[in-house]
A and B are shown apart, each in its own frame.
Chain A
Amino acid sequence: MLKFKTYLCPDTIEEALEHNKGRANVVLGGTGWLKMGDRSWNTAIDLKHLGLDQIEETDDAFRVGAMVTLRQLEIHPGLDTYTCGAMRESVRHIVGVQFRNCATVGGTLWGRYGFSDVLTCLMVLSADVVLAKGGAVPLTEFAAMKPDDDILTHLVIRKIPLRMAYASFRNTETDLPTLTAAVASVPGGLRAAIGARPARAERVEAEGETALLSAVSNLSYGSNTRGGGDYRRHLAGVLTRRCLEQLRGGEYE
């Protein structure tokens, strides 16, 4: 249950940062995961007055506010086209429409959750997160950082020439994934991101498919109730092949 004593909606990011200095204070995302904990917070900081709930598309990039919901990501036509449907595919299995209308991009990324479909999908893009204090940080770097008292305000996806695909495996529909995979073909080679290992998503790059599959296999895989490490390693190869097959528009040989 989510417990807090005071609720604030700052009008500026500076005000939000000031309140977020307190270790007993928390910035609210969609609160879906936050409420699963048993911690009592002093102050809940809601960013809803900061105009962070829009996806802006320019010729060069998508600028996604931290309060944009996963449902907005799912149905945005520009993102759908640019990611070859991968963004929608990565989000549509997450619980239900009602949940995705609540969960936010900022909350999802800030948590750096191992099981995150969204993080896996975004990792193969050329994406930065914008931190109020830290400025723009590559998403791959941000994913490895520890949470601090900064505030994530935007996700910026730079438009580079790209084709991509996304695949995940769940034991039961709408459950957390057993494994997630995204593959992108970019100038100079291929990128793959594998998440729910069960550790958070990690990206590997290679010039060709064989080298990419080898790099995916060499990632570390662990065990939990959803699957064993060896099983996940095998599954990672399968999902990566399926993504490569999609990129090639035909059967994988």
Chain B
Amino acid sequence: MILKLSLNGRPISADIPADQSLLDFLRAQGCYSVKRGCETSNCGLCTVWLDGAPVLSCNMPAVRAMGRSVTTLEGVRAQAEEFGGYLADQGGDQCGFCNPGLIMNVLAMERELTDPTEADIDEYLAGNLCRCTGFVSQKRAILAWLKRGDKE
């Protein structure tokens, strides 16, 4: 069937199998930041935004995005690179495989929550698993990122 949507601000039209997952569709469109992880809706590696809200692309048939706006890491490259620098500074960037999903959810959290506490951050990011860092260095990077405006 023909799927029409906005991908990173660009109108896309593609003929896809009815049951193709959003994850597979996005990777077929060249959005390789969207990672295939657990495929059981647990790890958060495949996080993208659907109309601005973070969702799991492995969990969603692509046809459900018909007429909607999908954003991947490729669509927020400048912000992602800036936050990636904070991850690197804090040693929160080891194998890096979980980074795209984490970054998409951190940016969504920043937009959705006002002055999040550490508990708020833990709760919002509970669906982003990392097997390298133990989350501590990631948390330092997130806290530094959220406070970056204080230094300017």
Contact = CB atoms under 8 A, between A and B. Distances in A.
Interface in B23-54: 39-42, 44, 47, 50, 53-54
Contacts of B39: 1
A71 B60 CA distance: 16
Given A30-B59, A31-B61, A98 B127 contact: yes
B105 A97 contact: yes
Contacts of A95: 41-42, 126-127
Give the interface SS of chain B, mostly helix, strand, loop or mixed: mixed
B42 A6 contact: no
B18 A96 contact: no
Interface in A56-102: 71, 92-93, 95-99, 101-102
Give the interface SS of chain A, mostly helix, strand, loop or mixed: loop
Nearest to A69: B53
Contact of B19 (A2, A99, A174): A2
A158 interface: no
B64 interface: yes
A97 B56 CA distance: 9
Interface of A: 1-7, 28, 30-32, 35-36, 44, 46, 48, 71, 92-93, 95-99, 101-102, 173-174
Interface of B: 1, 18-19, 21, 39-42, 44, 47, 50, 53-56, 59-61, 63-64, 105, 108-109, 123-128
